[in-house]
Amino acid sequence: MSAFEVPLALGMMRLHEARELQPPERLADWIEARLDQGLDWFDHADIYGDGQGEALFGAALRRRPSLASRVRIVTKASIVTPQRDASGHAVKHYDASPAYLGAAIDAALARLGVERLDHFLLHRPDPLMDAEATGRALDDAVAAGKIAAAGVSNFLPEQWRRLQGAMHQRLTVHQLELSLRHSAPCFDALLRDGLTPLAWSPLGGGSVFEDRLGRVLTAEAESHGCSPGALALAWLRRLPGRPTPVVGTLKPERLDALRQAPELSPPAWYALLEAARSHRVA
């Protein structure tokens, strides 16, 4: 069972673009409807809309305070966009320094209006990271009650092990690109190291519905009585550790369809893998 214990997490990357959800009352209605469906994990990052996503979400929670104790928040930081680069270089870069991460955590708490972040992830690995200093900063954030747990995103095994070796707290989550179109991470050391997988782009940006894979997905979905998208998520959930897909759609009807993911038999799982890779397993 995944540590998230939900069929999917709700990705907030495009929230700032959804004009119909920008009024706080409307967004509060949307959040409450998702909670009533049992979907209580919301995935944010400081670069989503340059903080607008978190700010809009926080405004909705302030409008309806009863929701704050029901939502569970993942957010990420360490990517500095050119617009936010104060150095004068206007260059996109990564920053995993204690000063940057500490400020990012405080800013996320303020925008979201919550007392603690359930999971705070380093969004991308910083080649210049001082693992000992960053590890201490994450440990300190947990000790201060600002974050419940720390994790990583888009890290390689040796990168997360380097950070973990400098920490007292356990890294709990790895958010990574994982789908039928991007299955290589299925075979890394994620589970051995005790990290719970969150899968971003679980539908491959729509590419899972194309070519032979799309045809096989459609046929299998018909036999399972679900949508092709739900079947693609079921493929992910069949993996050990039951990765939780982070789904970017905000449309209620689409989310409802994606929640209806069946359990796949091993042969059905391998049939989809074969269609995705265009060759049989050895």
pLDDT of residue 15: 98
β-strands 150-153, 72-77 pairing: unpaired
| Domains of the chain with bracketed CATH | 9-177 (3.20.20.100)
Q: Output the pTM of the full model.
A: 0.95
What's 183's DSSP letter? -
Q: Which residues of 216-243 are buried (b: 16+ CB within 10 A; e: fewer)?
A: bbeebbeebebbbbbbbbbbbbbbebbb
Cα–chain center distance at 152: 10
User: Residue 1: its pLDDT value, please?
Assistant: 41
Tens of pLDDT, residue by residue over 241-278, are 899 999 999 999 999 999 988 999 999 999 999 999 98
Q: Is residue 48 annotated as a catalytic residue, yes or no?
A: yes
What is the H or E stretch that residue 40 is in? none
Residue with tokens 């693992």: 131
- Is 204 a residue whose pLDDT tops 50? yes
Average pLDDT estimate for 33-41:
97
Q: Which of 49-63, 71-85, 86-100, 174-188 has the lowest mean pLDDT?
A: 174-188
The amino acid occupying position 200 is W
